[in-house]
Structure 1
Amino acid sequence: MIALQFLTRLPVRLDAPPDGSALGRSLLFYPLVGLGLGLTLAMLAQFLSEVGGWLPAAIVLAVWVALTGALHLDGLADSADAWAGGLGDRERTLAIMKDPRSGPVAMVVVVLVLLLKAAALEPVIARHDWTALALAPVLGRAAPLLLFLSTPYVRPGGLGSELARHLPRRGGTLVLSATLVGVLLAVGVRGTWPLLATGALFCRLRLSMIRRIGGTTGDTAGATIELTECAILVGLALAGG
């Protein structure tokens, strides 16, 4: 329920504010929340598939953004501004990420990612490839779990530091392993190169974070979710049904 409340805009109410231990354990359920989101989008796409054209893709994407409250897009925008305006300096990069304003670089990156998602959704929906649509949010939500397991959290205080500090590492490894096996079984041979390309993108993003700021933040984790979703969706769209 904590993961569902944080990752979506569904009206989830908790009896009491969660403690650090519960926050850390909630990371283990991120891929499950992604699966619920993916199945919801797949059912919507199936309902709209007979309409044809770009309208189903646009509606599915709009619902996708609405269900997540554009939370991860905000992290993507902040990270894009920080990487462009930080000029290679760690402290300047971290300061820009905290600025609530968005510059032109942020706008361009967000528009490009949404455009790529919409362009990938059109063929996926046209050929009724519900597996690709259902799995993109799963891998997107598995990405921050892997990021928190493998990368230091560099901004002290706040929700992200509690997540990183209390994440059960053994449980996280088991959840990631089970998620990967499930995804491989679902996509089969045609998903091999999209998965490898998405993995390579994750490694490149993580390396960039390490070099620039020494680890990850909540904003870079959100950016990783968006870029992972985009990469696997585009890859599976190109790979065919």
Structure 2
Amino acid sequence: MYSFALALQFLTRIPVPFSFIASDRQLGLSVLYYPLIGLLIGAIVTLLAVLTEGAGEGLQAALLLTVWVMLTGGLHLDGLADCADAWAGGLGDRQRTLEIMKDPAAGPMAVIMLVLLLLLKWTALVEILVDGDLTVLWCAPLLGRAALLQLMLSAPYVRKQGLAETLIQNLPRLPGAVLVLIIVALVFAVLGLIPLLAAALMSLLVYALAMQRLGGMTGDVYGATVELVEMAVLLTVAIA
């Protein structure tokens, strides 16, 4: 219960109606609930799509995207923005890239990346709403957080004494790997192979870039992964 509440509190702006002091074990277990939080976000967005049926697809897509962003408080978008600035301004230097990631100011590359990503998501949502199959609305956030879990299982974390370090050290690895496989099988059964491949390739690209530049992951890289995987899944379904 507490581990689920931790995941909900960390990944969304949905209020948790009680407070508690979490143990390291509970922090590690909370990561296993990240995909479930994605599923919850997807369920809320899907319900909103049903309730706003009849509105123009452009307006409907804008409403869905707004609620989607508000549910997370822009947490993952912030990570994407920091990564965009750091990759452009880091000039291939590991330490400089990490320093730029910690800077709260948003540079031009961050703004450009956010505008492009939201534009692509909105356009994909319009096409999906025209088609009428809303399944991808809960699959995309589910896969985004499953990709986050997979990176936490498979790649080192480079910022010492950070919150994510405690999460990773106490993350049950075998249950985490089994959970990722179950999600892959579920999404394959529902959406088919192509969106799943798009998610995997995007996650692999982020992994490769982060390992090459940083030698591992940061919280910002995790956030960027969620956003980019969601975008890849939405675009793939919209195009197909």
TM-score above 0.5, yes or no:
yes
Residue of structure 1 equivalent to 2:160: 156
Counterpart residue identity of residue 29, structure 2: R
Rounded to whole Å, the distance in 2 between the matches of 1:72 and 1:110 is 11
Q: Displacement, 1:186?
A: 1.3
User: If the length of structure 2 is used for normalisation, what is the TM-score?
Assistant: 0.96
Q: 1:3 aligned to 2:4?
A: no
Which 5+ residue runs of structure 2 have no aligned equivalent? none
Counterpart residue identity of residue 181, structure 1: A
CA contact (8 A) 1:46 1:125 kept: no
Q: 1:75 aligned to 2:75?
A: no
Q: Displacement, 1:71?
A: 0.4
Residue of structure 1 equivalent to 2:220: 219
Rounded to whole Å, the distance in 2 between the matches of 1:14 and 1:116 is 38
Counterpart residue identity of residue 203, structure 1: L
CA contact (8 A) 2:143 2:199 kept: no
Counterpart residue identity of residue 102, structure 2: K
**CA displacement, residues 58-109 of structure 1 (integer Å, 9 cap, x when unaligned):** 0000000001000000000001100110000000000000000010000000
Residue of structure 1 equivalent to 2:21: 17
Residue of structure 2 equivalent to 1:238: 239
Q: Displacement, 1:14?
A: 4.2
SS of 2:53 mapped into structure 1: helix
User: If the length of structure 1 is used for normalisation, what is the TM-score?
Assistant: 0.95
**CA displacement, residues 137-180 of structure 1 (integer Å, 9 cap, x when unaligned):** 00011111000001000001121111111111001011101111
Task: Give structure 1 regions of 4+ aligned residues with deviation exceeding 4 angstroms.
Answer: none
- CA RMSD in angstroms comes to 1.0
Q: Displacement, 1:5?
A: 0.8
Number of aligned residue pairs: give it. Answer: 236
Identity of aligned residues (%): 50
Rounded to whole Å, the distance in 2 between the matches of 1:80 and 1:177 is 30
* Pair 1:13–1:94, CA change in 2 (3 A): farther
Rounded to whole Å, the distance in 1 between the matches of 2:185 and 2:200 is 14
SS of 2:135 mapped into structure 1: helix
Residue of structure 2 equivalent to 1:133: 137
CA contact (8 A) 1:49 1:125 kept: no
